[in-house]
């Protein structure tokens, strides 16, 4: 039976070194793979729906439980419903879990690599205020890692910080993510179309 532990084990694996975790899980986290998407959908679609509806709110009693809820609502829908409006339909709920967790300082109880995903609902937001907060959180995360981790971790987390800045800059420029326009039925402006023709314009 799937639960918060199986969600976290699936997403993070069992390696205790954060840089190695990031390396080992990179394909799962960042690639576009139909087989992986189908596997996540088969295993976790029901659990994600329960998280959306509030049926798993008791998981918020622990930092790990909050993280599992965020992954169920922020990460898994992007795999399960890739290139459809449903991939973003859980985002507001993910932000709620993130914001409540930040207020409770639950993120401070997590490993650095886990904090990366704790903050992602803000990075995925089309609100500039959320983007500004995300950049500040990833900056603080990098500073924490620099004080306590090896060089490999510093490079890994520096990349996450730079990616947060890229997201921020797109929202500061356009007020939304242009690469979502086609999926959500939004009409792109000429400036957005020019941007979308550039390498690296989509996340």
CATH code, 112: 1.25.40.10
Q: Is residue 106 part of a domain?
A: yes
Maximum CA extent, the chain: 49
Q: Rounded mean pLDDT of 54-62?
A: 97
Q: Is residue 202 part of a domain?
A: no
Helix/strand/coil for 23: helix
Q: Using the predicted structure, report yes or no on whether residue 114 has a pLDDT greater than 80.
A: yes
Q: Rounded mean pLDDT of 64-93?
A: 97
Q: Helix axis angle, 63-70 relative to 112-123, nearest 10°?
A: 50
Q: Is residue 61 part of a domain?
A: yes
Question: 38-66 in b/e burial notation, b at 16+ Cβ within 10 A?
Answer: eebbeebeebbebbbeeebeebbeebbbb
Percentage of the chain beyond pLDDT 90 is 85
Q: Rounded mean pLDDT of 28-52?
A: 96
Q: Is residue 203 part of a domain?
A: no
Domain membership of residue 131 as a residue range: 4-196
Q: Rounded mean pLDDT of 60-79?
A: 98
Given this model, what pLDDT does residue 19 score? 85
Average pLDDT, the chain: 94
Radius of gyration of the CA atoms of the chain, in A: 17
Given this model, what pLDDT does residue 153 score? 67
Considering the entire predicted model, what is its pTM?
Answer: 0.95
Q: Is residue 174 part of a domain?
A: yes
Q: Using the predicted structure, report yes or no on whether residue 46 has a pLDDT greater than 90.
A: yes
**Considering its fold, how many domains does the chain have in total?**
1
Q: Is residue 112 part of a domain?
A: yes
Residues 6+ apart with CB under 8 A from 154: 142, 145, 146
Q: Is residue 85 part of a domain?
A: yes
Q: Using the predicted structure, report yes or no on whether residue 21 has a pLDDT greater than 80.
A: yes
Q: List the structure tokens of 54.
A: 């509030």
Helix/strand/coil for 115: helix
Which of these ranges, 44-58, 81-95, 138-152, 171-185, has the smallest mean pLDDT? 138-152
Q: What is the pLDDT of residues 121-161, one digit of tens each?
A: 999 999 999 999 999 999 999 988 886 665 656 678 888 99
Given this model, what pLDDT does residue 56 score? 98
Q: Is residue 48 part of a domain?
A: yes
Q: How would residue 201 be classed by pLDDT, with cut points 50, 70 and 90?
A: confident
């Amino acid at each position: 039976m799937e639960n918060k532990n199986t969600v976290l084990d699936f997403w993070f694996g069992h390696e205790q070194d954060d840089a190695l975790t990031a390396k080992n899980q990179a394909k799962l986290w960042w690639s576009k793979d139909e087989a992986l998407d189908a596997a996540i959908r088969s295993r976790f679609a029901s659990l994600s729906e329960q998280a959306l509806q509030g049926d798993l709110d008791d998981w918020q009693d622990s930092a790990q439980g909050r993280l599992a809820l965020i992954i169920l609502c922020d990460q898994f829908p992007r795999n399960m419903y890739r290139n459809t409006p449903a991939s973003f339909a859980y985002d507001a709920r993910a932000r709620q879990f993130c914001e409540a967790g930040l207020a409770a300082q639950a993120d401070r109880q997590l490993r650095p690599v886990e904090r990366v995903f704790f903050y992602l609902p803000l990075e995925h937001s089309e609100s500039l205020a959320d983007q500004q907060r995300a950049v500040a959180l990833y900056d603080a995360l990098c500073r924490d890692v620099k004080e306590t981790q090896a060089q490999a971790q510093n490079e890994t987390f520096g990349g996450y910080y730079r990616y947060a800045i890229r997201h921020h800059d797109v929202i500061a420029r356009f007020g939304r993510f242009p690469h979502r326009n086609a999926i959500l039925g939004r009409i792109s402006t000429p400036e957005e179309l020019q941007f979308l023709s550039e390498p690296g314009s989509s996340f």
